[in-house]
């Protein structure tokens, strides 16, 4: 390597480095032994026929004699990739493939990314049901709402393998985990007032889990203001939120809802949604989770000096307290596969959140959730139900 | 290990050995590096967004930045697994998984087996089209006829990735390769009379390829007798065969067709279909390919002593001249992927057959096709078009 090339190498922008590392063939099968013609004849025709007939006699043997037991499909239709919106059938694949790497690295789950050529709800359901026999689980990913929630509901009811909706469930587990630890630090209980900005997959998933965990004082807002009773929501999931939260039925905007709140959870998808002044209206020892990526609802350094703020978390790796789904999905999916769970229950979701919370050693205001390189995936995989 | 266990181990039946070797997790992803939180942030959110947006701008980059370029799906509906018939959505998976091992071992192709929950033609087409964006190619496998041929035709026309139908095309390539080398040995040319038993995927695929290669004197028969003009075949593929073969329009049974034939190709799916007496009616230096597995149309040792028989091949590994698709599909699919071929043409099929034929060193009557452990996959992958 000559000096100039070396210098260029050293000077690579972070964008160049991103493109370089993403050149790797992320989805690649592990080569397995086939030593001889004899082995080939046992692994393939004619020998394999005996194994097929045995499974035909007893279908549960499919888990013993095939890879179904550890194989999942990551399904997207490209309609809501990260914060990038509807970028189509190809442009979302890198995210799904990287998700597969994370599944393998942290959970030893073999996850095959499948990006669909259709964005039609009924076709997506037909396709996922159609390919399900080969897989032990499904991870729905980055599908727009309310389609994603509807698909998740229907597939969870109709498939005989677990259907995990990471945007909804994964985000909820890690958020509740962070909240459990935060409340220990500020010594508050389930009576806190929680204000959630955003009523998509994440907002709905978080709200339902917080309600199940026992929080009673929750107000959710979307771009039109607080979700409340008195108007009709076409989206049935929002309608449920309207019925179950906002006990005083406050009609107003997010800023109004934030007054006197103990906890803010931002999953709005909108960067810089709120101002320092809004956070100032929160209670003493406020907990602020501004989780939208890449730009949070409010940047941590804007509110670091506020006396009433005790704990700040974001979705970013460059600040403390990164609330990141990668902490959740590898271990939780391994748990589902190991235990051959068909339907994910709220009890399992709560257990997952508590397991994540308990995976943090020496909780403090800058360490409310475990890191992805910690034991958290192992702890989730080994949960006992 | 005590003496008794050792003894038992030594005494394992071949069936026990088959079940034992098939316990391995055949489909398993190769773990890839994620060294640090920094790398994780380049491989996953937020860094990966740059790669997604680049592909959105220029969709051809999907081949550069994702594994699509080397990833295929092996699709079955379980309706015609090996010679076992319709054994359903689970029992065929071991065959597909072993096929994936062979793809990886001999062609370095990453092949994901997908067994479908439906056997409905339209749904199968919807599903394969639906999942196609993630894959660089499709291998259709063990689907009953004429459905398989119809699905292959429609998907080949409508998808922007190659669709390989191994039962039809793979079998045809290797059969033509064996025939090319056999004719060299017996010093006969394309004027030979060829009698094909079986008019399913393999029979139709072989017939079409032999016609394209220049053989003119072909008679095909199915369970009802010779395929001929004068009756209407509901199966349009059979109708085409009726129009293009059997130039003397012989109406009769297989035995009649065999009289004076130079070549017999059995892909009937019926073991012991013909008798020694039938083969005796063939021409001098007869070539007998009895390819049905596990029991061929006639066992080689029944006709070894016939003076008029020069070359015998089967699909079995325990006789010389094993005509086996595993020789074909790994290398041919690699060729398709490397060259980003969308539509497989007859020229490519002929080139593949010739490449397979040329991969045999020192042709002789017991060595008309290459072994699976030879260079044949490499030669196929490196074909120039």
Over residues A131-143, the pLDDT tens digits come to 999 999 999 999 9
Percent of chain B with pLDDT over 90: 92
Active-site position among A68, A99, A193, A208: A99
At residue A44, what are phi and psi to the nearest 5 degrees?
Answer: -125, -170
Using CA atoms, how far apart are residues B319 and B302, in angstroms rounded to an integer? 13
Q: How far is B240 from chain A (nearest CA, A)?
A: 31
State whether A127 and B132 contact (CB < 8 Å).
Answer: no
State whether B51 and A117 contact (CB < 8 Å).
Answer: no
Using CA atoms, how far apart are residues A127 and A89, in angstroms rounded to an integer? 15
Quote the pLDDT of residue B263. Answer: 98
Nearest Cα residue to A289 out of A141, A172, A144: A172
In order of A108, A311, B23, the CA distances from B11 in angstroms are 35, 67, 19
B9 has a pLDDT exceeding 90: no
Percent of chain A with pLDDT over 90: 92
Residues A216-231: tens digit of each pLDDT: 999 999 999 999 999 9
Tell me which residues of chain B, numbers 311 to 350, contact chain A at a CB-CB cutoff of 8 Å.
315-317, 326
Quote the pLDDT of residue B46. Answer: 86
CA A346-A347-A349 angle, to 5 degrees, is 60
Residue A194, beta-bridge partner list: A218, A263
At residue B227, what are phi and psi to the nearest 5 degrees?
Answer: -80, 125
Q: Which residues of chain A lie closer than 8 angstroms to B43, CB-CB?
A: 21-22, 98, 101
DSSP A32-96: ----SHHHHHHHSTTTHHHHHHHHHH-GGGHHHHSGGGGEEEEEE-SSSBTTTB--HHHHTHHHH
Q: How far is CA A114 from the centre of its chain?
A: 17
Q: How far is CA B244 from the centre of its chain?
A: 23
Quote the pLDDT of residue A92. Answer: 96
A10 has a pLDDT exceeding 70: no
Structure tokens at A292: 């939208």
3-state secondary structure of B266: strand
Residues B42-87: tens digit of each pLDDT: 999 889 999 999 999 999 999 999 999 999 999 999 999 988 899 9
Using CA atoms, how far apart are residues A109 and A112, in angstroms rounded to an integer? 10
A5 has a pLDDT exceeding 50: no
Quote the pLDDT of residue B82. Answer: 86
Residues A43-81: tens digit of each pLDDT: 998 899 999 999 999 999 999 999 999 999 999 999 999
Strands annotated E in B121-273: 137-140, 163-165, 193-197, 217-222, 225-226, 263-266
Residues A239-294: tens digit of each pLDDT: 999 999 999 999 999 999 999 999 999 999 999 999 999 999 999 999 999 999 88
Average pLDDT, chain B: 95
Using CA atoms, how far apart are residues A238 and A198, in angstroms rounded to an integer? 11
Structure tokens at A121: 């709800």
- Three-state SS string over B243-262 comes to HHCCCCCCCCCHHHHHCCCC
B3 has a pLDDT exceeding 70: no
Using CA atoms, how far apart are residues B32 and B38, in angstroms rounded to an integer? 15
Structure tokens at A68: 């179904």
CB B274 within 8 A of CB B250: no
Quote the pLDDT of residue B6. Answer: 43
Using CA atoms, how far apart are residues B49 and A377, in angstroms rounded to an integer? 25
CB A301 within 8 A of CB A327: no
Determine whether B301 is exposed, middle or buried from the number of CB atoms within 10 Å of its CB (0-12, 13-18, 19+).
exposed
Nearest Cα residue to B111 out of B88, B141, B82: B141
- Residue A83, chain B, CB below 8 Å: the answer is yes
CB A331 within 8 A of CB A324: no
Measure CB to CB from residue A101 to each of B32, B49, B127 and give the nearest one.
B32
State whether A28 and B88 contact (CB < 8 Å).
Answer: no
State whether A29 and B91 contact (CB < 8 Å).
Answer: no
What is the Cα gyration radius of chain A? 23
Residue B266, beta-bridge partner list: B197, B290
Sheet with B137-140, edge to edge strand ranges = B110-115, B71-76, B137-140, B163-165
Q: Which residues of chain A lie closer than 8 angstroms to B317, CB-CB?
A: 37-38, 40-41
Nearest Cα residue to B238 out of B208, B265, B212: B208
State whether B94 and A18 contact (CB < 8 Å).
Answer: no
A311 has a pLDDT exceeding 90: yes
Average pLDDT over residues B139-149: 96
What is the Cα gyration radius of chain B? 23
| pTM for the structure as a whole | 0.94
- B325 DSSP 8-state letter: G
CA B137-B139-B140 angle, to 5 degrees, is 135
Average pLDDT, chain A: 95
Measure CB to CB from residue A95 to each of B52, B112, B132 and give the nearest one.
B52
Using CA atoms, how far apart are residues B49 and B43, in angstroms rounded to an integer? 9
Determine whether A246 is exposed, middle or buried from the number of CB atoms within 10 Å of its CB (0-12, 13-18, 19+).
buried
In our burial notation (b when 16+ CB lie closer than 10 A, e otherwise), range B81-120 reads bbebeebbbbbbbbbbbbbbbbbbbbbbbbbbbbbbbbbe
Helices first, then strands: H and E counts in chain A: 18, 10
CB B172 within 8 A of CB B205: yes
B289 has a pLDDT exceeding 70: yes
Using CA atoms, how far apart are residues A71 and A196, in angstroms rounded to an integer? 35
Q: Which residues of chain B lie closer than 8 angstroms to A136, CB-CB?
A: none
- Residue A85, chain B, CB below 8 Å: the answer is no
B10 has a pLDDT exceeding 70: no
ipTM: 0.94
Q: Which residues of chain A lie closer than 8 angstroms to B34, CB-CB?
A: 101-102, 105
Quote the pLDDT of residue A317. Answer: 87
State whether A67 and B14 contact (CB < 8 Å).
Answer: no
State whether A70 and B25 contact (CB < 8 Å).
Answer: yes
Structure tokens at A275: 């101002």
Q: Which residues of chain A lie closer than 8 angstroms to B88, CB-CB?
A: 56, 59
Q: Which residues of chain B lie closer than 8 angstroms to A317, CB-CB?
A: 37-38, 40-41
Using CA atoms, how far apart are residues A202 and B355, in angstroms rounded to an integer? 55
Q: How far is A295 from chain B (nearest CA, A)?
A: 10
In order of B117, B270, B274, the CA distances from B309 in angstroms are 46, 21, 15
Q: Which residues of chain B lie closer than 8 angstroms to A125, CB-CB?
A: none
- Residue B12, chain A, CB below 8 Å: the answer is no
Structure tokens at B204: 């139709």
Average pLDDT over residues B214-229: 97
pLDDT-derived band at A83 (thresholds 50, 70, 90) equals confident
Nearest Cα residue to B115 out of A63, A135, A113, A163: A135
Quote the pLDDT of residue A155. Answer: 98
In our burial notation (b when 16+ CB lie closer than 10 A, e otherwise), range B229-253 reads eeeebebebbebbbeebbeeebeee
- As annotated, the active-site residues of B are 44, 99
Q: How many CB atoms lie within 10 A of CB A4?
A: 8
Quote the pLDDT of residue A9. Answer: 52
A interface test, pick of B38, B97, B129, B314 with most A CB neighbours within 10 Å = B97
Quote the pLDDT of residue B86. Answer: 96
Measure CB to CB from residue A48 to each of B48, B94, B117 and give the nearest one.
B94
State whether A87 and B56 contact (CB < 8 Å).
Answer: yes
Q: Is A90 a catalytic residue?
A: no
Structure tokens at B383: 């074909």
Using CA atoms, how far apart are residues A105 and A88, in angstroms rounded to an integer? 27
Q: Which residues of chain B lie closer than 8 angstroms to A51, CB-CB?
A: 18-19, 22, 94
Size of interface A-B (CB pairs under 8 A): 309
How many CA atoms does the CB half-sphere of B358 hold within 13 Å? 10
Return the residue of A nearest to B119 by Cα.
Answer: A130
Residues B325-355: tens digit of each pLDDT: 999 999 999 999 999 999 999 999 999 999 9
Residue A288, beta-bridge partner list: A264, A312
Q: How far is B36 from chain A (nearest CA, A)?
A: 8
CB B279 within 8 A of CB B195: no
A196 has a pLDDT exceeding 80: yes
- Residue B52, chain A, CB below 8 Å: the answer is yes
């Amino acid at each position: 390597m000559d000096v100039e090339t070396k210098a260029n190498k050293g000077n690579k922008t972070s964008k160049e480095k991103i493109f370089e590392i993403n050149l790797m063939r992320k989805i690649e099968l592990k080569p397995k032994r086939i030593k001889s013609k004899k082995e080939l004849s046992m692994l393939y025709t004619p020998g394999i026929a005996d194994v097929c007939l045995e499974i035909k006699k007893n279908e549960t043997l499919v888990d013993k004699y095939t890879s179904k037991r550890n194989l999942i499909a990551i399904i997207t239709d490209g309609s809501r990739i990260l914060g990038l919106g509807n970028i189509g059938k190809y442009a979302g694949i890198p995210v799904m493939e990287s998700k597969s790497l994370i599944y393998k690295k942290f959970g030893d789950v073999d996850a095959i990314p499948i990006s669909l050529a259709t964005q039609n709800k009924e076709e997506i359901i037909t396709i996922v049901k159609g390919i399900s026999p080969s897989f032990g689980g499904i991870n729905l990913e980055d599908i727009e709402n309310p389609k994603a929630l509807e698909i998740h509901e229907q597939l969870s009811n109709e498939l005989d393998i677990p259907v995990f909706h990471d945007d909804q469930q994964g985000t909820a587990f890690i958020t509740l985990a962070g909240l459990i630890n935060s409340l220990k630090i500020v010594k508050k209980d389930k009576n806190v007032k929680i204000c959630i900005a955003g009523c998509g997959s994440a907002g709905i998933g978080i709200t339902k889990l917080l309600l199940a965990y026992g929080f009673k004082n929750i107000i959710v807002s979307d771009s039109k203001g607080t979700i409340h009773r008195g108007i009709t929501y076409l989206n049935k999931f929002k309608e449920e939120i309207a019925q179950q939260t906002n006990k005083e039925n406050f009609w107003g905007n997010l800023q109004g809802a934030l007054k006197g709140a103990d906890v803010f959870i931002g999953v709005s998808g909108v960067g810089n949604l709120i101002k320092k002044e809004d956070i100032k209206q929160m209670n003493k020892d406020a907990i602020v989770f501004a989780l939208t990526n890449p730009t949070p609802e409010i940047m941590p350094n804007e509110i670091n000096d506020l006396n009433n703020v005790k704990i700040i978390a974001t979705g970013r790796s460059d600040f403390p307290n990164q609330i990141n789904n990668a902490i959740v999905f590898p271990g939780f999916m391994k748990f589902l596969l190991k235990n051959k769970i068909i339907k994910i229950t709220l009890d399992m979701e709560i257990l997952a959140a508590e397991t994540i919370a308990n995976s943090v050693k020496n909780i403090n205001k800058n360490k409310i959730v475990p890191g992805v390189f910690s034991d958290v995936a192992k702890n989730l995989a080994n949960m006992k139900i």
